Structure 1
């Protein structure tokens, strides 16, 4: 029982305190400071006799643990000054505690409100499209997922008026189906050529006034017409991908020319490497052979260039874009970017302003979840490939391509069954190396063959 408890149970004043007498080595009951109320007896002897001496009450032969203050510290200061010092300290300590606690609470609250408001600001940057049942209604973090990444050739935005085809409504110029494995160990980026001949299905489309309109499908047309023409939205492109590959896209992310410029600027440029120098009059790209860093307008010119690579067609441009995107992904996930608050803010602003996504992932919190799931995939295990195609046999002048039915189904099945193309490529390489090793070994005599 503490001093206050003893005071109540033995008729003592709760304000009294037990103090060590340095002369006797014993603890004594010292009267506390006067408080308003009934006067108490002059002394509290254990046998009813006056046991006071020099204003102290002592109980001989009885050692009692020291009285501890409300914070657990023993009151062992000088007898004449202890009460006053304690009375002065407590208000100051209380004020300091209240000030510190209040300040920290304000900082936490301000940070929370500021963070919430900034997320809402980013959310306001993102444009969403209702694609109905063309995609999934929500994002599942514990499942494999497919995101259709669409780069349009829409010329809106500052500085984009000078590029050709000014009247473009934004066709599916660059399209990549990104499959992320369930265990996040790998991902496959499947490029779909814009000049691939496909059948575009009928597309239920939500109009701006909230009504729904079914846009009639087309047979045997270029894939890029699945977006923009006749009011077709990204949901129609998703349906076309499902029709052509059998793979269901769950969500989409769409960006225009500005995305390339702003994203590359946000990460301070993307590294590219050329075997030969390029001086393209059409795209205005001019780069030396070897390594270079491109950003902004130069980066856009790099991904648009066709006449300086390979056979000057879209298929060779796809390969260049795949290398560019791989380099951009490495730069975005690098420690130099992730540890720089300035770069992260610039990247968040650029990405949200450039993106149009389906409503299921339209919230910044969901986009953050998507980004965190993508970050789990090692960049070395991201495989880039293209839909296997061959020249369109119906054309005399080769301008379009069709699916190569002898090779494409294998790729489609691997993606649908969540099989890593990285592992498949590695397995094929090992088998090829094993065959080569056997051919290099000692050969049997011809008579034994």
Structure 2
């Protein structure tokens, strides 16, 4: 019997075979007499601490059973006790095709059941595309991929016929280091990107490099030419600058099985929908969907907005917020049977990178995710514009005026729900670093590097500083070793007066000022280093380095009910 079939004899659901032992407070695997021996042994039962001799009194003698027991045809049985809260740990886990927030339940002594769940999870070796492990002490980024591959019963009519499984739905989930917030960034499948060269592991253990492509749809980063999820992760890094640590991938079955496991998810429509293509048929207002109807809801696009993929992304985000609220509700958290069914559904829906393929690692990751309040989980989409290269608009490109700022916020662990807090931190940094005397402009010595700005920016800024601001002791030091999202000014403590003057000239905030060690210019004299980042707007234009203070994106949060329309 394969690992996914263990404990399934006679059509019995594995979740129903794990029952509460009222004496120990543990969940134990109990097989029916008709079931063949399970390949998953149950936990050992502890021996009685103080065994007592059997009651010799025969039936019908009027013997009164001792306290805590009751008489019956099979003798005494313990009166059920409420299990200790620590015996039933509730664990939250992100996963799914359109990304679902599901729960995995573990109980004391359920080690072998966890190993069974581990057998449900498929893994892919992505080499160095992601991290080698998971840390509880760091921020982390997971790429959630939903494919259009027609796998699973009843999915023959979905997606593209014969598809190898493209990156049809993509959400980059960033979880903050302090676990106070998370950002779910949707990446449109029709976004025009450059796909980099991608080393992939073959079945025989060898490595094959799939050649990259320029100016193609994002969804081609998976499946085509043998590209694996690691290729999609590399494409995200190429497009946004954000490093992806791990991935989770699922097909159409994920939405159906997960929503069924929780007895449906409540959705809301501004108007009635009867969509011939997706087969969605719902009235206006709130409805509960599961299985095929849930999948139809997240696949529908012709009945919402401009009937495009961007409108469908908003619907999917609304659905996900509702699913998350259902998963964290008391109805779900207090139902052992429902939690175990969710564990089965979640693990069968998943393909993950081998670094997190152990159920123990997934559990640790889930526990960290559980710490994030739903009100601080933000959903947003990569800011885009219609592709200017097309006459008939079918694809989109990154909006360069707002996209880089949003990517920078995620990369720098700034919450979309904490802009006010970020402004306060920024103000504190400004007060600490900009407070004090300022040197005369003529005394400022600075090297200028181009670290991601447009070509020629360093020379243009040099001319401006020398000719317009009187910073004569400045020089063009060429290109920086690496590109930066934000312009920075590095200086030694003894150069603080000079740094404050230059910051005032450039409009730099305190967070852009980086105290460090002294460096020397081309003449061997100590100088500061100004590195122009991607946020540099042009010579003489003042900078505002606070992404949180300026970024303007369309976003929603997981705690609020929204109606699709």
User: What TM-score do the two structures reach when normalised by structure 2?
Assistant: 0.56
Instruction: Quote the Cα distance in structure 2 between the aligned partners of 1:300 and 1:281.
Output: 14
Instruction: Quote the Cα distance in structure 1 between the aligned partners of 2:360 and 2:326.
Output: 23
Q: Is the 8 A contact 1:333 1:375 kept in 2?
A: no
Partner of 2:197: 202
Stretch deviating more after TM superposition (203-212 or 191-200): 203-212
Deviations 1:280-305 (A, max 9, x none): 00000001000011110000000000
Q: Is the 8 A contact 1:148 1:176 kept in 2?
A: yes
Instruction: Quote the Cα distance in structure 1 between the aligned partners of 2:296 and 2:48.
Output: 61
Is residue 246 from structure 1 mapped to residue 269 from structure 2 by the alignment?
no
Partner of 1:120: 115
Any unmatched runs of 5+ in structure 2? 1-46, 53-105, 424-548, 551-565
Q: Is the 8 A contact 1:270 1:328 kept in 2?
A: yes
Shift of 1:354: 0.3
Instruction: Quote the Cα distance in structure 2 between the aligned partners of 1:301 and 1:226.
Output: 25
Partner of 1:211: 206
Match of 1:136 among 116, 120, 131: 131
Match of 2:148 among 148, 153, 156: 153
1:1-400 alignment to 2 at 5 Å? 99=51, 115-400=110-395
Shift of 1:425: 7.6
Deviations 1:338-371 (A, max 9, x none): 1110111011000000000011110000000111
1:344 and 1:112, CA in 2 relative to 1: closer, same or farther beyond 3 A? closer
Instruction: Quote the Cα distance in structure 2 between the aligned partners of 1:317 and 1:96.
Output: 58
Any unmatched runs of 5+ in structure 1? 1-94, 101-110, 433-449
Q: Is the 8 A contact 1:388 1:407 kept in 2?
A: yes
The structure in which a higher percent of residues are helix is 1
Instruction: Quote the Cα distance in structure 2 between the aligned partners of 1:269 and 1:336.
Output: 12
**Higher Rg:** 1
Shift of 1:424: 2.1
User: What TM-score do the two structures reach when normalised by structure 1?
Assistant: 0.70
Instruction: Quote the Cα distance in structure 2 between the aligned partners of 1:312 and 1:417.
Output: 34
Partner of 2:467: none
Instruction: Quote the Cα distance in structure 2 between the aligned partners of 1:282 and 1:349.
Output: 30
Instruction: Quote the Cα distance in structure 1 between the aligned partners of 2:327 and 2:107.
Output: 26
Partner of 1:19: none
Shift of 1:403: 0.4
Is residue 415 from structure 1 mapped to residue 410 from structure 2 by the alignment?
yes
Instruction: Quote the Cα distance in structure 2 between the aligned partners of 1:202 and 1:267.
Output: 41
Q: Is the 8 A contact 1:200 1:218 kept in 2?
A: yes
Instruction: Quote the Cα distance in structure 2 between the aligned partners of 1:96 and 1:197.
Output: 67
Where 2:260 maps in the other structure, the secondary structure is helix
Give the length in aligned residue pairs.
327
Instruction: Quote the Cα distance in structure 2 between the aligned partners of 1:426 and 1:332.
Output: 29
Where 1:190 maps in the other structure, the secondary structure is strand
Q: Is the 8 A contact 1:271 1:291 kept in 2?
A: yes
Instruction: Quote the Cα distance in structure 2 between the aligned partners of 1:175 and 1:210.
Output: 28
Deviations 1:392-433 (A, max 9, x none): 0000000000000001011001001101101128989xx99x
Partner of 1:106: none
Where 1:421 maps in the other structure, the secondary structure is coil
